[in-house]
Homo-oligomer: A and B are copies of this chain.
Amino acid sequence: MKMNEGVEWAMHSCVNLSWLPGEAVTAKRLAAFYNLPTAYLNKQLQALARAGIVSSISGPKGGFQLARDPRKISLLDIVVAIDGADDAFRCTEILKAGPGANPKADYVKTCQISRAMRAAELTYRRELAAQTIADIAEQVLAEHPDAPDNTRSHFANLTV
Contacts and interface: CB of A to CB of B under 8 A. Distances in A.
A144 B116 CA distance: 17
A150 B99 contact: yes
A94 B127 contact: no
A24 interface: no
Nearest to A116: B131
B136 A98 contact: no
Given A75-B117, A88-B88, A121-B124, A94 B4 contact: no
Interface stretch (A8-16, A48-56, A64-72): A8-16
Prevailing SS type, chain A contact patch: helix
B136 A127 contact: no
Interface of A: 1-5, 7-9, 11-12, 15, 33-36, 75, 83-84, 86, 88-92, 94-95, 97-100, 112-113, 116-117, 119-121, 123-124, 127-128, 131, 136, 139-140, 143, 150-151, 154
